[in-house]
Structure 1
Amino acid sequence: MNDLDTCLRCTSHLRDHELGRHLCCRCEAIVASALTEIPKLYSRLGDHLHRGASNGPAVSGSKAAPLPLRIEVLDLQMEKGPALAVLQGWVRDWEFYGHAELAETDTLQERVNGACRTLRYNLGWAVAHHPAVDEFAHEILSAHRTLNRVVNGETPPRKVAVTCLRCQQTLRITLDTRGETCPGCRTEYGHSEVLRLPLADRRAAA
């Protein structure tokens, strides 16, 4: 149970009916939506495997040289890539608590489907009881963004330059960062702390 009155992910204050949870209802809904969309995005990776490939039908008997593969997409399709490995890692973790069951005998797509299904089904338990549900949410949303960027061409989050309070080092952060460590003085900033840092001078940020 969360002894704090703030969401561990977005640090917003929990409402009365959310007290005791680790995540607020809004963050839970965002993670649930990502778990619903991940299988659909994963199934479309094959359409983006070749550089410059169109989604039109293949021409039989073509003598053209095969298009080069996109390694980052191939990596996403792999069992140990940043999609399935993350999903199955959390299924294994939740299995320890008795709230999931890992299936490793199906196709990769079926394993993605099954992992997302069981994680979404037990999300309510995790939000209330899992001690690392904020880390889980971060990794699931990161995997979703990566897949969405490949399939739908979504651009990465825009980085903002801010200044370390201790040594004036410029840090480049995104609005969804979980926290940052200053490379100059090694000061650690949490999510809410790093978002409150002053914007860097334009010349320093260049």
Structure 2
Amino acid sequence: MNTTCTVCGHDLWHTEQGHQACGACIRRLDRMLQDLAGPHGLYAQLATVLQPGTLADNARVSGSRTAPLPIRLEPLSLSSRGGVVTILQTWLVDIHDHLGYRHPRWQGGLQGQLDQAVSRLRILLPWAAENHPAIAELFAEVRQAVGQCRAQDLRRTPRQTRHRRLHPLRRHHAHHPRHPRTTLPVRNPVRVGRTPAAQPR
């Protein structure tokens, strides 16, 4: 009988003894699934970053003879069949097999199929937390998919993210933090009312 969560490795509560995953990990998994679904979810947002130029990693390289691609490949791969939707559908089919259920019938386009898979997975999470031997792999793959989707939805370039706009003088010191300060030469002070001693010839 399991006494530790197979996802995070923490001890299970007394009421969770024998389960595959703890309640905290299942709640995190449920939240990640929610973040993927819906018209404003992470999956839907992939369509907004398909065009080249939305991120700095597709900026043209000076001197390159290769024409830029008309579409960004990474978000396209995530949003196409074989990407995020297929990952979730595969896990849902696997859980249905464990339960002896018929395979689900997918309806609508990819967005609709993703929403369908997310909705069904969330319903079956309590059973999976208690019984599915590969719940840790499910958690890891969903977390990876969410992370990859989030990485595509950047509105600022990496250079803009790293550097803030600085005043010209501050920008100079930011690039040259050890630049010595310019000071005027200090002359020997001469007291008022006294004539400096004549130098011997």
TM-score by length of 2: 0.64
Q: Which residue of 2 aligns with 1:8?
A: 6
Q: Which residue of 1 aligns with 2:191?
A: none
Q: 1:148 aligns with which of 147, 150, 153?
A: 150
Alignment of 1:28-43 (within 5 A): 28-39=26-37, 40-43=41-44
CA offset at residue 152 of structure 1?
A: 4.7
For 1:140 and 1:98, locate their aligned partners in 2 and report how far apart those are by CA, in whole Å. Answer: 23
* Letter of the 1:28 counterpart: I
What is the CA deviation profile of residues 144-181 of structure 1, one whole-angstrom value per residue up to 9, with x for unaligned ones? 1111121257xxxxxxxxxxxxxxxxxxxxxxxxxxxx
Q: Residue 106 of structure 2 contacts residue 116 of structure 2 at CA under 8 Å; is this kept in 1?
A: no
Q: Does 1:120 align with 2:118?
A: no
Paired residues, number: 140
Q: Which residue of 2 aligns with 1:50?
A: 51
Alignment of 1:76-87 (within 5 A): 76-81=78-83, 83-87=84-88
Identity %, equivalent residues: 29
Aligned-residue CA RMSD in angstroms?
Answer: 2.2
* Letter of the 2:51 counterpart: H
CA offset at residue 4 of structure 1?
A: 2.3
Q: Which residue of 1 aligns with 2:112?
A: 110
* Letter of the 2:108 counterpart: D
Higher helix proportion: 2
Moved over 3 A (4+): 98-101
For 2:152 and 2:131, locate their aligned partners in 1 and report how far apart those are by CA, in whole Å. Answer: 33
* Letter of the 1:7 counterpart: C
CA offset at residue 103 of structure 1?
A: 2.6
Alignment of 1:50-69 (within 5 A): 50-53=51-54, 68-69=70-71
CA offset at residue 67 of structure 1?
A: 7.5
Change (3 A) 1:99 1:133: farther
Q: Residue 53 of structure 1 contacts residue 67 of structure 1 at CA under 8 Å; is this kept in 2?
A: no
Q: Residue 22 of structure 1 contacts residue 129 of structure 1 at CA under 8 Å; is this kept in 2?
A: yes
For 2:10 and 2:47, locate their aligned partners in 1 and report how far apart those are by CA, in whole Å. Answer: 39
Change (3 A) 1:90 1:84: same
Q: 1:74 aligns with which of 73, 76, 99?
A: 76
CA offset at residue 46 of structure 1?
A: 0.8
Gaps of 5+ in 2: 56-67, 156-201
For 2:136 and 2:78, locate their aligned partners in 1 and report how far apart those are by CA, in whole Å. Answer: 23
For 2:9 and 2:92, locate their aligned partners in 1 and report how far apart those are by CA, in whole Å. Answer: 26
For 1:88 and 1:26, locate their aligned partners in 2 and report how far apart those are by CA, in whole Å. Answer: 24
